Each structure stands twice: as C-alpha cells, then as structure tokens.
Amino acid sequence: MSTETGTRTPEAAAEPPPAGASAKERAPQGHRRLLTRRDRLILGLMAGVPTLVHLALVWVAALASIALAFTTWDGIGFGSITWVGLDNFRQLFTDNPQFWPAVQHNVVWFVVLILIPTPLGLFLAVQLDKRIRFSRVYQTAFFLPVVVSFAVIGFVWQLVYNPDTGLINSLIGANEPGHYIDWIGDPDLNLWAVLIAASWRHTGYMMILYLAGLKGVDPSLREASALDGANEWQTFRHVIFPTLRPTNTIVLVVTIIESLRAFDLVFVFNGGAHGTELLSILVTDNIIGESSRIGYGSAIAVVLLLISLGVIIPYLVSTFRKERRS
C-alpha cells in the first residue's frame, strides 16, 4: 500500500477523487457551522504550534541571517551590532581567498554528481527493473551507503585513502615513505577523492528514485513498443525515458540541494582545508572556528540561501501549480 502511494507522490495529490472536488467547496462552510468553539481552539493549536516552531527556528532564522549579513557583530551583547551595508559581501567577493574556490567546488560537486552517479543510478535501476533474480540483493548492496551516516562513510573511506595504511596505496605500493600519494592532503587530489566517496553514496540514492519512477511506467507502453519492433535501447530512449520526466525533475532538485548541503564528508576528511573548501564549511568555520565573525558568516549563508531559493521556488511553484490545475 505504502509503495503505491509512494510512487504517486508528489504528483499523486494531483488526482483527488472526483467527489472530493465538490466537497472541497462545500466543506469549509459546513464546518464553520458544525465546529464548536472548543473545536476551533484545538484546531488552531494543532496547526499553530508546529507552524510557530517551524517558522521561528527555520524561517525567522533565515531572515535573521539576511539581516546579520549587513552588519558586523562579535556576538558579545547586542550593543556591538553595527550596520555596515554591503561591506561583508564586498569583502567576500574580493578579499576572501577561500570564497571563489568554495563556489567552484560546490559547482564541481554538482557537475560530478549529475554526470556520473546519476546516469549510473538510472542504468542500475533499469537493469534491476527487469524482474531478474536476486534483484533485492543487488539493490541492497547499492543502497547500503545511503543508510549509513555521512560521518561514518568519511571514516570508512579514510581507511581506503590513508597514505600510509590505506587500501589504495597498499595495493599500488605507494605506501613507502617518499612514494606516498596523499589522497587526502594533496590539494589537487583531495576534492576528487571525496567526490568518489560522495558519488558512491549518491548512486544508490538515485537508483532508488529511478526504480520508483520505473515502477510507475505503464506496462502497455513497453508492449506497444515491442510490437512496433523497437529494440531495448530504442524503447528506453523513446518510450520509457520521456515518461520519467517527473522523476528527472526530482533528481535534479535533489542533486542540486545535496551539492549545496555537502558538508559532513569533507568535514570528517580534512575539515575543508586546502582544496576541499565548500560554502557550507566556510559558514561553519565562522561559528565553531577561532574567529566569530557573525556578519561575515551570514553573508556566505545568504549566498547559499539565494542559490537554493533559485532552485526551490521554481520547483515548488511548478509542483503546486500542477496540483492546483486538477
């Protein structure tokens, strides 16, 4: 039961039963008459309390980030908050040696995730969708990394990358002093090393999303295309793939958001130093690092906020518009 509803969301909500549509217009009036005062109070609390918690901790905080981005503040007492206009941003864009590399790394992160694990996940999903034996076993193997914490993944991959005792260097004989390949320390290598670990995890995630999408494909489409004499690739290319459009949208949004959120893996690897700077790491550095430059950290957060809203808003608008139309 839950699987069925699963594959239908979020488009699922787009198809309320026909009777529901008329009930919709009718209901509020009927309710208003029937609800007692106590009922209305309870309803208000039920909707109000969670909304307040969410608004206060998420949205008010986001707005506060924007406000703080135009100030400097050392965090000691409110008196030291000073309005500085665009100074933080000016400094960020021109003076900070870590900012542009971080932006670049976030972009690289996204490009790699969308070019390698995403098609690979789709490919695996298509293979596993063929109703083959042991499908569940394979699925579990690919999906296991998604279940494990990013922090744990970081430690596991350190065992692979460690210059001295790691799997790779031991295998290729680069674990002797003087021959070290420092996968984690070398600024030219470490981003790619983390990205392999990130892609490893992302593939399983994408595979599950595509598997769900493929379950929703109408079997008669396949039959029709087989009758027309299309081969496997043609069927996929011209019949199956176009029907996966909603899944592709979700995959794109998820991948962008994941690349903006990327944090744990890098933080465990090397704290985001030399070659693996990310926007998320820069924000965090301003909080738990030595320097507490709140306004400056907020300015980076605002950059992150603007990029993510640029993705979130169009996605939600199109999703909800579809929902309304029906």
Partner 1 sequence: MASTAASAPRRRRPPVRPARVLLHLFLAGTALAWLAPLLWAVYAALRPYGETSTKGYVSWPDRLSLGNFSDAFTQSEMPHYFGNTLLIAVPAVLLTLFLSSCVAFYASRFDFRLNLALLLVFTAGNLLPQQVIITPLYRLYLLVDLPGITASGKLYDSALGLVLIHVAFQSGFCVFVLSNYMRMLPHELTEAALVDGASVWRMYWQIVLPLCRPAMAALATLLSIWIYNDFFWAIVLISTGENMPITSALKNLSGQYFTDPNLVAAGALLTAIPTLIVYFALQRQFVSGLTLGASKG
**3-class state of residue 290 by DSSP:** coil
Four-residue CA torsion sign, 146, 150, 155, 159: positive
Task: Tell which positions 178-237 bind partner 1, by CB under 8 A.
Answer: 197, 200, 203-204, 208-209, 212
137 binds partner 1 (CB under 8 A): yes
Instruction: Give the residue, chosen from 193, 239, 250, 266, that forms a contact with partner 1 under the rule CB under 8 A.
Output: 250
86 binds partner 1 (CB under 8 A): no
Among 145, 113, 195, which residue's Cα sits nearest to residue 183?
195
Tell me how many residues contact partner 1 (CB under 8 A).
Answer: 124
Least distance in Å: CB of 317 to partner 1? Answer: 9
Q: Which residues pair with 71 in a beta bridge?
A: 83
Determine how many CB atoms are found less than 10 A away from the CB of residue 21: 11
The Cα 65–Cα 262 span in angstroms is 19
288 binds partner 1 (CB under 8 A): yes
The Cα 220–Cα 242 span in angstroms is 15
Among 241, 292, 306, 209, which residue's Cα sits nearest to residue 9?
209
**How many Cα neighbours within 13 Å face the side chain of 118?**
19
10 binds partner 1 (CB under 8 A): yes
Instruction: Give the residue, chosen from 82, 104, 149, 231, that forms a contact with partner 1 under the rule CB under 8 A.
Output: 149
124 binds partner 1 (CB under 8 A): yes
Of 84-92, 111-119, 131-139, 182-190, the segment contacting partner 1 by CB under 8 A is 131-139
107 binds partner 1 (CB under 8 A): no
Instruction: Give the residue, chosen from 84, 116, 189, 312, that forms a contact with partner 1 under the rule CB under 8 A.
Output: 312
Nearer to partner 1, 75 or 242 (CB): 75
Instruction: Give the residue, chosen from 144, 224, 238, 310, that forms a contact with partner 1 under the rule CB under 8 A.
Output: 144
Least distance in Å: CB of 235 to partner 1? Answer: 15
Q: Is the Cβ–Cβ distance between 121 and 207 less than 8 Å?
A: yes
Instruction: Give the residue, chosen from 155, 238, 242, 318, that forms a contact with partner 1 under the rule CB under 8 A.
Output: 155
Q: Is the Cβ–Cβ distance between 274 and 185 less than 8 Å?
A: yes
The Cα 45–Cα 41 span in angstroms is 6
Q: Which one-letter amino acid corresponds to residue 239?
A: V
Instruction: Give the residue, chosen from 102, 112, 125, 260, that forms a contact with partner 1 under the rule CB under 8 A.
Output: 260
Residue 105's contacts (CB-CB under 8 Å, 6 or more residues apart) are 191, 276, 277, 278
The Cα 287–Cα 71 span in angstroms is 16
Least distance in Å: CB of 21 to partner 1? Answer: 10
Task: Tell which positions 54-83 bind partner 1, by CB under 8 A.
Answer: 54-62, 64-65, 68, 75
Q: Which residues pair with 82 in a beta bridge?
A: 72
147 binds partner 1 (CB under 8 A): yes
Least distance in Å: CB of 295 to partner 1? Answer: 9
Instruction: Give the residue, chosen from 29, 95, 130, 290, that forms a contact with partner 1 under the rule CB under 8 A.
Output: 130
Instruction: Give the residue, chosen from 84, 182, 319, 322, that forms a contact with partner 1 under the rule CB under 8 A.
Output: 319
324 binds partner 1 (CB under 8 A): yes
The Cα 87–Cα 317 span in angstroms is 33
Among 270, 310, 252, 249, which residue's Cα sits nearest to residue 105?
270
Task: Tell which positions 292-311 bind partner 1, by CB under 8 A.
Answer: 294, 297-298, 301-302, 304-305, 308-309, 311
128 binds partner 1 (CB under 8 A): yes
Least distance in Å: CB of 137 to partner 1? Answer: 7
